[in-house]
Amino acid sequence: MHSTLTKDRLQELLASLRGRRVLVVGDLMLDHYVWGRVERISPEAPVPVVEVEREAGLAGGAANVARNIAALGGVPLLVGVVGADATAEELRERLTDDGINAGHLIIEADRPTTLKTRIMAGRQQVCRVDHEVRSPVGETAVKRLTGAGRELMGEADALLLSDYGKGLLSMGLIRDLVEAAGDRPSSVDPKEDHFGAYAGVTVATPNNHEAGRAVGDRGDYGRLDTIAARLFELTGLKNLLITCGERGMRLYEGPGAEAKVIETVAREVFDVTGAGDTVTGVLTLALAAGASLLEGALLANLAAGVVIAKVGVATASPAEVLRQHDLTAGA
């Protein structure tokens, strides 16, 4: 199915998202882009020489999830850890530019803010350079994260855990936050090492490779029903939305449920960076507004179709989602 959402229902859903508050807790980073052109190969090594034309920084990781929520009119309550460095300052500036409160970023002075630098030649990524520490954050930071998360959960409509495996989301913190969420919708964009901590989460959104690795499988599309069954058995998750790149998504509404296949709506694919952030953010915001899992997944699929047609971590506006729906309906 390309979509079971009528345009009228889509418009209702988009209107219902405004003002919904989602607590986003996860690994923060700054995505730095260096754009240039390549016209020659280096005489020092067989690598391209990129002549820099412009540079820009964008909020990434859990902060990009927050950007996607804000772009559709939601209110992200963002909690995470940064260092005491210039990268953190730029990240705060980018969040402020996007209308996101950066007041709950916890500083761990001896830990650098994660920085991913992508060298781009036109629309092509030449290489990526990462500055990061992936060891667990300190005990003091964990206590502050737990306190901030529990306090903000009191005013949130849903919980979203953005797990990039950079050391912020420990088993204990995950359990504390899921408990604080109670009956409110919760989601996780997971890493395979933490699947055992996600029991009780409303929905997890792994890609097929992450889902496969979590159960010792390759994650081939044809084996996803088996993989999903094993994940439900191992984790205690309530629902699964497995993203499969150009194959779209498979939604499993509970253990033993037959997969609902959601075909991709992307017409052009330039950059899949951050597409998982879009899916998890939009799905969770929809659940916070009372949408069904299927409606949320269909809405997230439309938004993802918008962002992967852009270069770099990106967001989708309501107008762009509606246009994507129209393009799909007319395909």
Structure tokens at 304: 């993802």
Give, in degrees to the nearest 5, the angle at Cα 66 between 149 and 110. 60
Pick from 296, 294, 300: nearest CA to 259? 294
First CA to last CA distance, the chain? 12
Q: Which among 27, 157, 277, 326 is annotated as catalytic?
A: 277
Q: State how far the Cα of 250 lies from the Cα of 248, in Å rounded to an integer.
A: 7
Q: Is 277 a residue of the active site? A: yes
Pick from 217, 169, 221, 219: nearest CA to 196? 169
Give the pairing of strands 203-204 and 124-131: unpaired
Look at residue 6 and give its three-state secondary structure: coil
- Which residues, listed in sequence order, are joined to residue 52 by a DSSP beta bridge? 36
Edge-to-edge, what's the strand order for the sheet holding 28-41?
A: 48-61, 28-41, 114-121, 124-131
Q: State how far the Cα of 89 lies from the Cα of 212, in Å rounded to an integer.
A: 37
Residue with tokens 């992200």: 76
Catalytic residue numbers, as ranges:
277
